[in-house]
Structures are given as structure tokens and as C-alpha cells.
Amino acid sequence: MLRWVVLLLGTVAFCQNNKRPLFGTVTSPNYPIPYPNSNKSTWDITVPAGYHVSLSFLVFDIEPSENCYYDFVKVMADGKELGQFCGPVNSLTHPGHRQLVSLGNQMRIHFQSDFSNELDGDVIPYKGFQAFYHAVDKDECAPPSDASGTWTPPCEHVCHNYVGGYFCSCFPGYNLQSDNRSCKVECSSEMFTEESGFISSPGYPEPYPPDLKCNYSIRLEEGLQISLSFQEPFEIDHHPKARCPYDILKVFAGDTMLNSFCGSHSPGMVTTRSHTVDIVFETDDSGDSKGWSLHYTSEAIPCPYPEPRDTYTIISPEQNIYRMRDYIVVTCQTGYKLMEDRKELSSFSTTCQKDGTWHRPIPRCDIVTCEDPPVLTNGQYTFLTAPGRLEYRSAIQYRCNAPYYNMVTPNGSDTYTCSAQRQWKDDNGGVKIPLCLPVCGKPDNSVESYERILNGKKAAPGNFPWQVFISINGRAGGALIGERWVLTAAHVLLPDTEDNEEKNLTKVHVFMGSLEVKHLLEMGNHPVEAFYVHPAFRKGSYDNDIALIQLKNPVVMSQGVSPICLPSPEDEDDIYQNGRKGYASGYGVTEKHTIANELRYVYVPVASWQDCETYVDGKKKSIKDHTNRQKYFLSKNMFCAGFPEGSLNKGDSCQGDSGGAYTTPNKQDTWVATGLVSWGFNCGQGYGIYTKVSNYVDWIKSYTEEEE
């Protein structure tokens, strides 16, 4: 609120908001009309604490007199007079543009006039004065310009002035006390938790204050060891004849005091071997020594150097020393495995602990071993290294049962080594083992007498190991061409005498491996998985008279059992030439019209196509039944072998031999299945007609190679 205060006819104008004013005006009584005679007026000005009062006169018109004896204005502050003024503008007693400033926050203005204002009998109208005052910030921190008295600084250390007041602060390491001006070191509970740092006495390198009881605590993670490095200068009050009687610095590791220090000789490096350190600094009430400073560092506790348990262990990373939180990874050289007790580990690492031990002991490395080498069907392996040892780098060599099997290798190698991956691998890293494939067309005891033989002859062991005895509504023959495949004539499996064309596997019995029928039957049959008749074969005709029998289980080759080869394109112009020697074998009717009890064979040469055709045409003319005559159709899927009708040589195949192979040694001395016994007119009285196998090689392989 705006208030006007009138004191003894004078006025003071100021703006106040329930606070002490920061500025205002003071005027003489009746201003601006002349002031009255015989007047005494006083104005007291107060501004907020922390400010000075600054006063200046805007208008000043007071009767002049010597020493301002008659009329005057007097300004007072801080218990003393700042000035007494009167007279005209240019007089020595006029205030002019002076700024009158108090030291405190108060000022008094006193006005006095005498009984008249006359000059030479005339009345002079003097207006009086108008003064302006305002609050001026007081710099409590600055020493007074008047140095006559004793001045006490408001702050013990540092004074900070601001508008309307001031505050005190302390040097680093000191705390401001409750009086807000005094400073005292507070170092009784300093805590350091970083792994390195600096600590010094208060005020270092300036002299430290008196009466200190400092405690600097370093608290680090367990497993770290603290070292103290004292710097220069190092200076603590001491006595030449007594140990540290005044001031003393003590170093504790845990509860144990390591040492105490004073004097001017630096302790240098102090190793505590602890993760908790206390530094206690106590001083008396006097002295001017510079104090001390140190740099503390920490180092993790070391673990024992990890020693491998064998020469195959690899430890990484390699370091000269391993400390807390360091870790190592343990691996093995190629071909070895990590073992912890009896347990195999896929990986291993261990960490240096805070107590200086490894959290897991180092494992060992044992050599890896492979399982027994895969069994090679119809073969075996031999160790190239120590027999029976299955460990890393052990080597074996596979071989097939000769002479009945040949080896086929995936990568051209028959040698396998136990690898670091615990697999048997060949020289090229392959894991697939070789195959032992039967050797075809190489009988142990090849027929060597190629001269013409009248009628049949008993076969010797090893002459015709591909010979198969088939029992199905009677006797028939076949030829082994693979481990699970038998080649025979289609009419053997689908004879004209049966109306049902469905395949009845239970009626097909296959025997092999002996020359004697009795022994064959005692040995047992080979179960049949399926059979496949050539799709172009039709009952009532012998064209495409060829079929395949698939066995359930592979046959093991031996002297008495091994396959015949199929003819190759290169054999075509050789094995079907007129007069080319070949052999038919079987367990069929003999020349004496009896059933053979043993395997017999006969030499029968290939006949020319012209002779064969003439012979068949002649025989067909003698058949009166036209329907029956069509059955004996001669096609290019057939050939004739044997001797002309009426010849003294009677060698031929007969009933019971159907489906058996007509075989020929080719130019490479390999026996091939040239034909299959198919049909004829009368046994031993002219040519026999055979299915031409070379025309069906692709059809045969479409089954046999698909299985492989």
C-alpha cells in the first residue's frame, strides 16, 4: 500500500509492501513553497538489512550562513555526521551532486530553520529541499575503506557477496560449521570404493590444519589387493628423539596396523595384501607441515599357474599370471577328448576366484576311440596299425573275399583311419565303406574241353557255378546274374498248361550251390521276393521268353555259386557267329530219357540264322494242327544252337533244362549268358532254340541296377 508519512511537518514518500522500502523521497516542510521559520524536522530512513542507504539532493535551496548557523540540513548515519548543508549551489556548504552513503541500513536527516529569512531588510523566499534515497547493495565481503579500526572478515575462508547479503564457504576438505562462517576439516569417515584413486591430507600441499582426526577407508571387492604409493613432498611434524609424538599417520589392513609414519621421508610403496585399508591421520593443535598425498591402486589376487595334466591339453589364453576374474578355456589336440573324472566334456572353462583358487580343476585329455569298423559284406578288414586298437589314427584295410568278389570303393581307397570325429574315414575323408560285388563269368574250374562231345557230360565242381535249379510244376533251370537275381525263361514261370496267369511266388523254389539234386534239396531253397516276366511275352508263343526272379536275400558267392555275366555290345558280333562254341547245362532229361540226378552239360555250337530258319520251317510243316504250328514262330529274339537233324552228334538241351543258360566264353575269357533254353522239337534231333539274351540287357538292368 502507498503511505505518506509526515514527521514534524516534513514528508517522506515511499512505496511499501509490508516491507522496508528500497527507495523514496524526502522534502522540506511545505515544499515546494518556502519552508517556515523556526522549524525543526527529522526523517529516519531504514532499508532492508544487507543494504546501504544512498541519498542525493535533487533540489536544495536553504538560507546561506557562516557554518550554516541559521538554517541547515544535517545528514547522519552509523553514529556520525555525514554532512551539514546550506547556501547556494556553488557554495562549499551546498551538497551539490554528492552521494551520501551509510555503512548500515539506516540514515537520519535533520532540518532546522531560524526565526527569519531576511537579507538587508527584505524577506527572501527559500524553497527548501527535495532529496531521493534508495537502497544500495552492501558488499559485506569487502574490507572497509576506512582502515582506522580493526576489521574481522565475515567468513573464515571464502566470502561470497550477493544482492542483499552474503554467504561463506570453505576450502576443499573443510566443512562449514553451524555459525555459517567457521570452517573445520571433516575427515573422520571418508569412504573410497573405486579400484584406484588419490587421497591427501587436508589442504595438501599447504599446511594441514590442527586438531585433525581423519579416517580414510578404502573398501574394495574381496579378491583385490590394495597398494599405497606415497608421493613427494611428504611432511608430517615429528620429533628427533621420540617417534611421532605430535602428528601421526597410521595404515591398517583389516584389523592389523601395518605401520605408522611421520617426518619428511616418504614411505614410498606400501603393499597391504588386503581389500580393506584404513588410513588414520591425527594431529595436535600446532604445526605448519605440508602433509602427505598418496595414489592407491588395486590388483586382483593371483591364482596358481594352470598346469596341464598331459601333453595333449591346450590352455588359452596364455598369460604369465592369472588373477581374480581371469578365466581360461581348456581344449585338446585333434584326436583327443576332454575328460573330467569319467565324464566326457563338450567344452571346459574355469575362473580364478577371489580366494586365489580355480573354481574347477583342469581336466585331462584322453585319446578318442572309434567303434568297431563297419562290417564289409563278403569281405573283411585287417589292421595296418596295432591289431584291435580302435583309437585315433588307427588304420584298417578292407578286402573282399577273392576270387568271388571284387571291391568297388566310393573314393578309390580301401584304407580307412579312425578320425578325430570318431568315424572311420578313407584317404579322401569319405565315410562310406567299399562294396564287394560278385565276380561274374569267372568259374573256378572252367570247362576246357571244347571238342565235340556226344550227348551230355557230368559237370565238375566249379564248371557252372551260375547254374540254378528251379522247381515249379516240375524241373527248370536258371542262371544267377547277381546276388539277388536269377535269369530264366518266361514260360518256366507262366507255362501254357496253367490257365491262371497270376504270380504265385509260393510255387517257385530256387536252389543252387551243388551238383547233386539231392544235396540241393537238402541245402534248402532261396526264398523268392518277386519275379518279373518280360511284358511282351505271351502264352502260346516263345517270343520274348525271358524273366527275372528276385530273391529275398543275397546269395553268398563261393566255388559252387557265382554269377554269369551279361553280354556286352562288344560281344554281339562274336558270340552269335555260326559255329561259335557254347555250353548248355542243367538237371533235365538225359539222352537215356531219365531225370538227371547231377548237373550235366553239353557242347552245342551256334547255328547260322539261315540253317536255323530252314530247320524250323521244315519242322513246322510236319505239324498238322495249324494253331499249334503258330506257336513255333522264329523271331530275331532267338537263335539256334546244336547239330543238324540226322547228325551223329546228338548234344542238346531237353525237358527240365528250360530257362537254363547257354553260356559262351568271350574274347576276354569271361563267360557270358548268350542265351536261355527256350524250346525245340525233339531232344537230340536237330537244333535247340534259345532266347537271345543280348536283346534284353537293357530290360534286365532296369531291374537289377535300380535295386543297387
Q: Which of 414, 545, 571, 657 is catalytic?
A: 545
How far apart are the C-alpha atoms of 659 and 627, rounded to whole Å? Answer: 24
* Residue 412 marked as a ligand binder: no
* Residue 698 marked as a ligand binder: no
- Compute φ and ψ for 589, nearest 5 degrees: -65, 135
* Residue 282 marked as a ligand binder: no
How far apart are the C-alpha atoms of 110 and 41, rounded to whole Å? Answer: 6
Q: Which of 52, 94, 238, 491 is catalytic?
A: 491
* SS3 call for 269: strand
* Residue 307 marked as a ligand binder: no
Q: Which of 200, 658, 678, 694 is catalytic?
A: 658
Q: Write b or e for each residue in 7-37: b if 16 or more Cβ atoms lie within 10 A of its Cβ, otherwise e.
A: eeebbbebeeeeeebbebebbbbebeebbee
* Residue 114 marked as a ligand binder: yes
* CB proximity list for 495: less than 8 A, separation 6 or greater: 473
Nearest to 639 by CA among 670, 673, 669: 673
* Residue 446 marked as a ligand binder: no
Nearest to 96 by CA among 87, 107, 105, 106: 87
Residue 658 among the catalytic residues: yes
How far apart are the C-alpha atoms of 170 and 247, rounded to whole Å? Answer: 23
| Cβ proximity of 167 and 154 under 8 Å | no
As to burial, measured by CB atoms within 10 angstroms (0-12 exposed, 13-18 middle, 19+ buried), residue 46 is middle
Beta-sheet pairing, 128-137 with 23-27: antiparallel
* Residue 162 marked as a ligand binder: yes
* Residue 617 marked as a ligand binder: no
As to burial, measured by CB atoms within 10 angstroms (0-12 exposed, 13-18 middle, 19+ buried), residue 120 is exposed
Q: Which three cell numbers stand for residue 612?
A: 536255323
Residue 449 among the catalytic residues: no
Residues paired with 200 in a beta bridge: 293
* Residue 682 marked as a ligand binder: no
Residue 179 among the catalytic residues: no
| Cβ proximity of 528 and 619 under 8 Å | no
How far apart are the C-alpha atoms of 665 and 447, rounded to whole Å? Answer: 10
* Residue 140 marked as a ligand binder: yes
Q: State which amino acid sits at residue 451.
A: E
Binding residues: 63, 71, 114, 116, 137, 140, 161-162, 165, 247, 284, 286
Per the annotation, binding residues for Ca(2+) are 63, 71, 114, 116, 137, 140, 161-162, 165, 247, 284, 286
Active-site positions read: 491, 545, 658
